[in-house]
């Protein structure tokens, strides 16, 4: 019996696991390979339209397209679809799985097959309530437009995978199911020598919501923490521009080394991990990764909402809603190591149960089998 032919459309190369979104793509690809013969088309937003034949087997091309909020300009849209058809010329597929609604808007007319949309990063973009009125108004307008396009687009797919319950309850689809973000849970945790109390932030620091998160914490929360615990340090880790790193590292007790090769060591040395994120989409994989390493975590109310109902406040992490709450939560966990350890262990078990690659693979195989019938 011939194996089903599956096209997987992803913004990242198959072997890329360098950040949360790439890790999700990689796990999906591995699960799809258990279901059939997979061809991967790399389709990435960028500054210009570009077609590059890809050297990896099973990857016909990497296509970069000029990124716009809406891919509506007909000339650019047609040019990108022409490149997609050229990359897939002579190939036919029994099923297409596409990451993100934006990529689906380009690919759907180019392939005649049932489509599964992995609807990561859907409806949760907004500005903080403390942001300037104009910025909040612009963010609200963009969210309204984005949600309108999403409502019109999702019913066109044979099946939609959602990353959180709120999106699944908000948008109507022909067929849908939950496929939450995941992170591997290592079997043995490294032991670190006791060091100075450390608050850790991990994230792509070229991504706006992460930059805003760090700015907020450094300006409004860290001064009270440092005054109360002068021995504490704030470690800001992740790919970043040089200027931000210099500015943050100039603050007393703050270090921003940028990208590091060994994140496991960073988690092992941390007293707790923070996610003071107030905008973005999907679920924060940085939180799952920290919990998988049994770290105590403090998150914003916005981040907490992406994990309901599987993760609970005060059981798997703490939730802070004001600068005073951020400071009190961080100081409390650095001083009460037993409380931090209890939260970390509970979070680790929850990630193992709800957000493991094995659980995602089973869900992927179930959906694919049903559609291929």
* pLDDT 10s digits, 93-149: 999 999 999 899 899 999 999 999 998 766 555 445 556 777 777 777 777 877 788
* Whether residue 325 is found in the same domain as residue 205: yes
User: Do residues 269 and 192 lie in contact, with contact meaning Cβ atoms separated by under 8 Å?
Assistant: yes
Q: Is residue 192 part of a domain?
A: no
Strands laid side by side in the 233-237 sheet: 254-258, 233-237, 198-202, 272-275, 297-300, 318-320
* Whether residue 15 is found in the same domain as residue 98: yes
Return the pLDDT at 192: 58
Q: Tell me which residue range forms the domain holding 332.
A: 198-354
> For the chain, which residues score pLDDT lower than 50?
126-127
User: Do residues 89 and 109 lie in contact, with contact meaning Cβ atoms separated by under 8 Å?
Assistant: no
* Whether residue 233 is found in the same domain as residue 115: no
Domain tally, the chain: 2
In this prediction the pTM is 0.74
The CATH number covering residue 117 comes to 3.40.50.2000
Return the pLDDT at 323: 97
Residues 248 and 294: their CA atoms lie apart, in Å, by 27
* Whether residue 209 is found in the same domain as residue 84: no
Residues 6+ apart with CB under 8 A from 104: 9, 98, 115, 117, 153, 157
* pLDDT 10s digits, 49-107: 999 987 777 899 999 998 765 555 567 788 999 999 999 999 999 999 999 998 998 99
Return the pLDDT at 359: 80
* Whether residue 291 is found in the same domain as residue 308: yes
* Whether residue 171 is found in the same domain as residue 86: yes
Return the pLDDT at 190: 63
Q: Is residue 135 part of a domain?
A: yes
Q: Is residue 189 part of a domain?
A: no
Q: Is residue 190 part of a domain?
A: no
Q: Is residue 63 part of a domain?
A: yes
């Amino acid at each position: 019996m011939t194996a089903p032919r599956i096209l997987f459309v992803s913004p990242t190369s198959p072997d890329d696991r360098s950040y949360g979104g790439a890790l999700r793509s990689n796990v999906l690809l591995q699960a799809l390979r258990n279901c059939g013969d997979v061809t991967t088309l790399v389709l990435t937003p960028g500054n210009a339209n570009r077609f590059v034949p890809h050297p990896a087997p099973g990857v016909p091309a990497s296509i970069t397209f000029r990124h716009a909020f809406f891919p509506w300009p007909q000339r650019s849209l047609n040019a990108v679809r022409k490149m997609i058809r050229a990359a897939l010329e002579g190939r036919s597929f029994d099923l297409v799985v596409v990451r993100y609604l934006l990529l689906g808007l380009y690919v759907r007319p180019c392939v005649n097959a049932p489509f599964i949309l992995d609807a990561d990063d859907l409806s949760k973009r907004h500005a903080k309530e403390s942001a300037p009125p104009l910025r909040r108004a612009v963010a609200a307008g963009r969210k309204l437009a984005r949600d309108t396009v999403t409502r019109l687009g999702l019913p066109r797919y044979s099946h939609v995978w959602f990353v959180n319950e709120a999106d699944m309850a908000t948008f109507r689809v022909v067929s849908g199911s939950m496929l939450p973000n995941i992170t591997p849970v290592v079997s043995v945790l490294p032991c670190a020598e006791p060091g100075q109390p450390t608050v850790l932030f991990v994230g792509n620091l070229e991504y706006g919501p992460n930059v805003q998160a760090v700015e907020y914490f450094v300006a409004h929360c860290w001064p009270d923490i440092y005054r109360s615990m002068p021995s504490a340090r704030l470690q800001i880790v992740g790919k970043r521009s040089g200027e931000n790193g210099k500015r943050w590292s100039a603050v007393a007790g703050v270090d921003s080394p940028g990208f590091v090769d060994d994140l496991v060591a960073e988690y092992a040395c941390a007293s707790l991990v923070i996610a003071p994120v107030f905008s973005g989409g999907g679920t924060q994989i940085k939180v799952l990764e920290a919990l998988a390493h049994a770290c105590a975590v403090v998150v914003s109310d916005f981040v907490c909402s992406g994990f309901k109902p599987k993760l609970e406040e005060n059981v798997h992490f703490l939730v802070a809603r004001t600068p005073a709450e951020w400071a009190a939560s961080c100081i409390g966990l650095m001083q009460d190591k037993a409380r931090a350890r209890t939260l970390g262990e509970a979070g680790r078990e929850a990630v193992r149960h709800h957000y493991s690659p094995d659980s995602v693979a089973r869900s992927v195989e179930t959906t694919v089998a049903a559609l291929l019938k």
